[in-house]
Homo-oligomer: A and B are copies of this chain.
């Protein structure tokens, strides 16, 4: 099984089924999601986020998250070495996750007070304490936990987010024993120099942490920022097939970094991985056909470069 504590290669966490689908007006039927997840399971991505345990009336697109976990936890549908993750917002989410067999829990705190209040109804301090409390329960239950700092590179409401604010949350995570920490660029404000600088500061805090990123392509900087992070030692990336995605509680929403575009470029850059691009491209085409529009990803339209 995939081991959080000993990651050497580049880890791809596919979040399109959560971050992507929550932005779509159209709710995807359970059977359709199962078909898509089956394709993802054969693609070679490391972690797949199946959904989020939010209130079904608030985000009806993700109301079947429990059912998806139950289905893929049946021995005949098991995911092999792929980790199945879920986003949770509170204790109730953790309880639901434990009932249906979540392997990895994702949680986050925003570094912007305004975004924190809009997203969670809590101040940064309150949200951090709550998330850390839940994270400790996850660790005690022997499950994987990954926490993020949202709006880490700027906020659509507040503008600049000072590095100290991000570092303060990260330090609390580290003190709580959390080993997998992601910076999320919720508003898409990051630029490469800023990414390098922030991860350089994080690297100085604790060299045993697995640092990750979650970039949105709102202003076209998603992949450039991934490469800046990669150069700063980051090995864990969240992305969405076809570039689906966007947070509904931010000011200007836009898709995540496109999984197959990023993986295609990594393969061409010599970063070995076992991902089967043809599966991801097939899925991107499925998404485009289901939602009946052209999606942001490029490689699913251009095709794979067929050498090297």
Contacts and interface: CB of A to CB of B under 8 A. Distances in A.
Given A160-B308, A270-B193, A298 B224 contact: no
A307 B155 CA distance: 10
A292 to B, nearest CB: 15
B219 A302 contact: yes
Given A265-B220, A269-B193, A252 B159 contact: no
A34 B265 CA distance: 39
A299 B189 CA distance: 11
B265 A191 contact: yes
Contact of A219 (B188, B191, B218, B298): B298
* Oligomeric state, in copies: 2
B264 A160 contact: no
A188 B261 CA distance: 12
Contacts of A189: 268, 305
Interface string A213-240: 0000111110110111000000000000
A8 to B, nearest CB: 19
Contact of A191 (B192, B218, B252, B269): B269
Contact of A220 (B159, B297, B306): B297
Contacts of A308: 159-160
Given A159-B308, A308-B159, A221 B218 contact: no
Chain A interface size, under 10 / 10 to 19 / 20 to 34 / 35 or more: 35 or more
A51 interface: no
A220 B160 contact: no
Nearest to A196: B231
Contacts of A159: 305-308
28 contacts: A154-B305, A154-B307, A159-B308, A160-B307, A160-B308, A189-B305, A191-B268, A192-B227, A192-B269, A193-B270, A194-B268, A194-B269, A218-B298, A219-B261, A219-B264, A219-B305, A220-B223, A220-B264, A220-B265, A220-B297, A220-B299, A221-B265, A223-B223, A224-B224, A227-B227, A252-B303, A254-B298, A254-B302
